[in-house]
Structure 1
Amino acid sequence: MSRRDEKPSRALRGRAGRMQGGRGSGRASSGAVRLWGRHAVEAALKNPEREHRKLWATREGVATLDGELPAGFPVEWAQPLDLARLVAKDAPHQGLVLECLPLPDVFLEDVLSGEAAHPIVVLDQVTDPHNVGAILRSAAAFGAAAIVTQDRHAPPESGALAKAASGALETVPWVRVVNLARALESIEEAGYWRIGMAGEADLALSDAMPTGAVALVLGAEGEGLRHNVAQHCDALARLPITGIESLNVSNAAAIALYAVASRG
């Protein structure tokens, strides 16, 4: 039986007025995070893992939410221009800005002890919050088990990232690790076939695809996968694109996740 046909091991397992706080990317004071936009705020409000502090909102913004706010939820009513002072410049807050604490840590062993039929997405030094947010959104759409990043070379939770994720930040586990190579070793031990996406690879993704559990490994645009990370992949594969040199990493992740989900 080939390595690609092996079954995964399960051993591892208010009132309107001047708002407090300055403009920023979505990081508030004292370690809190500010989220904005209907999808991001609504998903965070529904997430029992979130510890909420305060909602600044227009009445029109609150009216767009699915369901009512809990009784006694701290809301400060505001005008759109007041909310604009709390978020990144020109951010589409849609009348909603939520301050909350970051999500609790998620550990790799907890993900590996789950359902191995769902792919894992590993990101090697992808630092743009819009890309990570978009990848989270695709991960949610195609049923990925988690995304895994190195803690020091990935963006923090932020309003911009959550807006790009369109609610998926609250539903897709995000594992932050110290050493990505060691994480890939643990992923292999759990029975996953690790495919590194590389434009220069000889194999097309369809030819590298296993029948069992898959971990897709993607690097930053331009730099691609670091050598040590690529060495910890079972295969390197490319997308069959023509006419351009490469795709945005979030687009590549979406296509690769679709390919995994549509295996026969």
Structure 2
Amino acid sequence: MAYREFTIEGRNAVTEAFRSGRTVDKLYVLDGCQDGPVLTIKREAAKQGTLIKYVTRERLDQLSGTGKHQGVVAVAAAYEYASVEEILKAAQERQEPPFVILLDNIEDPHNLGAIIRTANLAGAHGVIIPKNRAVGLTATVAKTSAGALNYTPVAKVTNLAKTIEELKKEGLWFVCADMGGTTMYDLNLKGPIGLVIGSEGEGVGRLVKEKCDMTAAVPMKGNIDSLNASVAAGVLAYEIVRQRGLA
């Protein structure tokens, strides 16, 4: 399957993309541009909750494939996002306790793609990512997922901490990957669960971590002190798989 970035440029094309209901991950706008058509595009972006980045003309020229961006470039999702409700419904249809992977501060598309692939193989019912400070479903993510994106729903939410609160009402417990946490083998990871993974550099944000019920550490015997985010997700996901198999 061939993958390509969905970059939309030019004022009319970007406006129509928003009005047609197309999912747009990011909108790049020429810094300082405040004329009518651009303000209209920014209003449409705000309605959809699209992340807006103000950049230089040089940056827009780099993003543009035609050189006729007119001060605006939109990056649309390569795949459509699911809803959190659809993820829970997938668990219900499989008659399994929900298993969801939530990602905080993951900005590397290769990490996101690899985690979606792991989520699929580990039997997770879906992946949840935040709108801000995170990569969306780009073509690179789709390619790295090795086809898993066709089968594993990914939801995008405005507030990860609030989403955790809402999922707790549905009976889920949450475990956060943290080097300072309890060794994963000493935790009960059975039942309805959400696994929260952060980036290598920043980890899981404080507000999100505070919403979690447990913190889990992967035992490490080497000379460095952290795992790649996608590897950590894989190790913890398969400990959850192991424990669910013992239930």
User: TM-score if structure 1 supplies the norm length?
Assistant: 0.61
Could you say which structure has the greater relative contact order, defined with CA pairs below 8 angstroms and 6 or more residues apart? 1
Partner of 1:152: 132
Counterpart residue type for residue 28 of structure 1? F
Secondary structure, counterpart of 2:180 in structure 1? coil
Partner of 2:80: 104
Q: CA RMSD in A?
A: 2.0
Q: Which has the higher helix share?
A: 2
User: Aligned equivalents of 1:177 and 1:101: distance in 2?
Assistant: 14
Partner of 1:92: none
User: Aligned equivalents of 2:140 and 2:237: distance in 1?
Assistant: 23
Counterpart residue type for residue 203 of structure 2? G
User: Aligned equivalents of 2:97 and 2:141: distance in 1?
Assistant: 27
Q: Taking structure 1 as reference, are residues 189 and 113 closer, same or farther at Cα in structure 2, changes over 3 Å only? A: farther
User: TM-score if structure 2 supplies the norm length?
Assistant: 0.65
The runs of 5 or more residues in structure 2 that have no matched partner are 10-75
Partner of 1:8: none
Give the deviation of 1:186 after TM superposition: 1.3
Contact 1:194/1:234 (<8 A) preserved: yes
Counterpart residue type for residue 145 of structure 1? H
1:28 aligns with 2:6: yes
1:126 aligns with 2:102: no
User: Aligned equivalents of 1:137 and 1:153: distance in 2?
Assistant: 21
What count of residue pairs does the alignment treat as equivalent? 171
1:230 aligns with 2:209: yes
Aligned pairs (5 A) from 1:161-180? 161-180=141-160
Q: Which has the higher strand share?
A: 2
Give the deviation of 1:117 after TM superposition: 2.4
User: Aligned equivalents of 1:196 and 1:103: distance in 2?
Assistant: 27
User: Aligned equivalents of 1:234 and 1:101: distance in 2?
Assistant: 32
Secondary structure, counterpart of 1:123 in structure 2? strand
Contact 1:147/1:172 (<8 A) preserved: yes
Q: Taking structure 1 as reference, are residues 147 and 199 closer, same or farther at Cα in structure 2, changes over 3 Å only? A: same
Contact 1:150/1:180 (<8 A) preserved: yes
Q: Percent identity?
A: 30
Partner of 2:188: 209
Q: Taking structure 1 as reference, are residues 114 and 191 closer, same or farther at Cα in structure 2, changes over 3 Å only? A: farther
Q: Taking structure 1 as reference, are residues 173 and 198 closer, same or farther at Cα in structure 2, changes over 3 Å only? A: same
The runs of 5 or more residues in structure 1 that have no matched partner are 1-24, 32-99
Q: 1:220 aligns with which of 199, 218, 223?
A: 199
Give the deviation of 1:154 after TM superposition: 1.9
Give the deviation of 1:118 after TM superposition: 4.2
Give the deviation of 1:26 after TM superposition: 3.9
Counterpart residue type for residue 224 of structure 1? G
Secondary structure, counterpart of 2:107 in structure 1? coil
